Structure 1
Amino acid sequence: MATFLYARVSTTEQTLDHQRTQAEAAGFTFDHVIADKGVSGVSVPMRERPEGKRLFDMLRAGDTLVVRWVDRLGRNYLDVTDTIKTFLSRGVIVRTIINGMTFDGSTKDPMQMAVRDALIAFMAATAQAQAEATKEAQRAGIAHAKGKDDGSYRGRKPSFDRKQVVIVRDLLGKNTGISEIAKLSGLSRQTVYRIKDDPEGTEKALALWPEREM
């Protein structure tokens, strides 16, 4: 029985390091780390990713698959639910770092199965909805920026970058306190609250000032 970490980032500019760091901080150790870099979780199904396909080939009954959250498996509802159900049917245990969820296919109790499947469906739907909201905010911000040739109406440059936003959102998902998040991300408490309370505005700011993204 082996433990796998699967990590994914959608652009080549992003790094995978923080996903492994979070997993290790949560107490996980790994026999294998499988990672796809620069691969969309929206448009590229898990089975069609270079390392995702390899993961399908390697996982066996009794193995444990660890992911930061289900959105690393993908941001398409049907793809994510199909992927997880396929792994569970093989006898693989799927665990998430954020929220500490464990999905085990060994149960035969219909009520437990119904609750498990409903939770998987909800998390997969949330991942897709977040991706769609982010994409829409980015489109709006880019369209606004293109309409202002001199850039004078873009507003003040944000005090955060993409990497810091990812850190903040990850820690919020783990119910970390605002003061601790500010310390770990290098941002002020006010900025952390702004990222938390205004996700659409955050994405628009990053789209208007792409040079701040990392």
Structure 2
Amino acid sequence: MFIRAYLRASTSEQDASRAREALETFADERGLRIAAWYVENESGSTLARPELFRLLKDSRAGDVLLVEQVDRLSRLTATDWDKLKAELATRQMRVVALDLPTSWMMATAGADAFTARMFEAINGMMLDMLAAVARKDFEDRRRRQAEGQSKAKAEGRYKGRPEDTKRNASIADMLARGMSWSQVQAATGCSRATVAKIAKRAA
């Protein structure tokens, strides 16, 4: 069994590695070792997350996917959450989240078969609930943001975030030289959505 830690932040301006210490402490307290780290700056509302799917590809049956909070794993729609759960089930991975105490025993193999199955069922229900809450929080924040922008526009106060022209020119140059989107992300620290926007503009 390997512990695979997943760290995610929504934008390149946020520190995706912020929760690393908390995950290390959790593992140390249980005598566990984190075998691999997967870090990315992508929205939790999309399944287009290269590092998450690299983690899944690397995994073996019984491995643990360790996250700080369920919303680091999912702010997905119900349909996409079901797709991700199916992928986790196919690979027989166990999800452990620091904000979900019912999942903690999934990080160890000490329970008998009956107890393990009971906790797996309970944990599954709790994961579904927290994933739904995370999605609602995402949608509520997007709605409030849109309302605020509409009000500011109506009052002539909204100008939007200024474009980082120097960075975007660098991204366009990298793409023109044949670098992959993942390589561009790694070099610039920008989100995949930003790379896609520049690529579309240059097409």
TM bucket, shorter chain? 0.5 to 0.7
Aligned residues: 147
Residue number in structure 2 paired with 1:182: none
SS of match in other structure, 2:100: helix
**2:145 pairs with one of 138, 151, 173:** 138
> Aligned in 2, Cα 1:3/1:22: closer, same or farther, shift over 3 Å?
same
Task: Give the gaps of 5 or more residues in structure 2.
Answer: 159-203
> Aligned in 2, Cα 1:112/1:66: closer, same or farther, shift over 3 Å?
closer
2:103–2:123 contact (8 Å) kept in structure 1: no
Provide the C-alpha distance between the structure 2 equivalents of 1:49 and 1:25, rounded to a whole number of angstroms. Answer: 26
- What are the within-5 Å matches in structure 2 for residues 51-200 of structure 1? 51-76=51-76, 77-102=78-103, 104=106, 114-149=121-156
Task: Give the gaps of 5 or more residues in structure 1.
Answer: 152-214
In the TM superposition, residue 32 of structure 1 has moved relative to its aligned partner by 0.7
Provide the C-alpha distance between the structure 2 equivalents of 1:140 and 1:14, rounded to a whole number of angstroms. Answer: 24
Q: For residues 61-91 of structure 1, what are the alpha-carbon distances to aligned partners after superposition, in whole Å with 9 as ceiling and x for unaligned?
A: 1211101122111211332343234324433
Provide the C-alpha distance between the structure 2 equivalents of 1:111 and 1:32, rounded to a whole number of angstroms. Answer: 28
Tell me which structure has the larger Cα radius of gyration.
Answer: 2
Matching residue's letter, 1:122 = M
How big is the alpha-carbon RMSD for the aligned residues of Structure 1 and Structure 2?
2.8
2:3–2:35 contact (8 Å) kept in structure 1: yes
| 1:32 aligned onto 2:32 | no
Q: For residues 8-47 of structure 1, what are the alpha-carbon distances to aligned partners after superposition, in whole Å with 9 as ceiling and x for unaligned?
A: 111111111212122224345421110121x2221x21xx
1:9–1:40 contact (8 Å) kept in structure 2: yes
Provide the C-alpha distance between the structure 2 equivalents of 1:111 and 1:6, rounded to a whole number of angstroms. Answer: 25
In the TM superposition, residue 96 of structure 1 has moved relative to its aligned partner by 0.3
Matching residue's letter, 1:33 = W
Matching residue's letter, 2:59 = L
Matching residue's letter, 1:36 = E
> Aligned in 2, Cα 1:94/1:139: closer, same or farther, shift over 3 Å?
same
In the TM superposition, residue 150 of structure 1 has moved relative to its aligned partner by 5.3
**TM-score of the aligned structures, taking structure 1 as reference length:** 0.58
Higher relative contact order (CA 8 A, sep 6+): 2
Provide the C-alpha distance between the structure 2 equivalents of 1:114 and 1:62, rounded to a whole number of angstroms. Answer: 16
Matching residue's letter, 1:24 = E
SS of match in other structure, 1:91: coil
Provide the C-alpha distance between the structure 2 equivalents of 1:15 and 1:102, rounded to a whole number of angstroms. Answer: 25
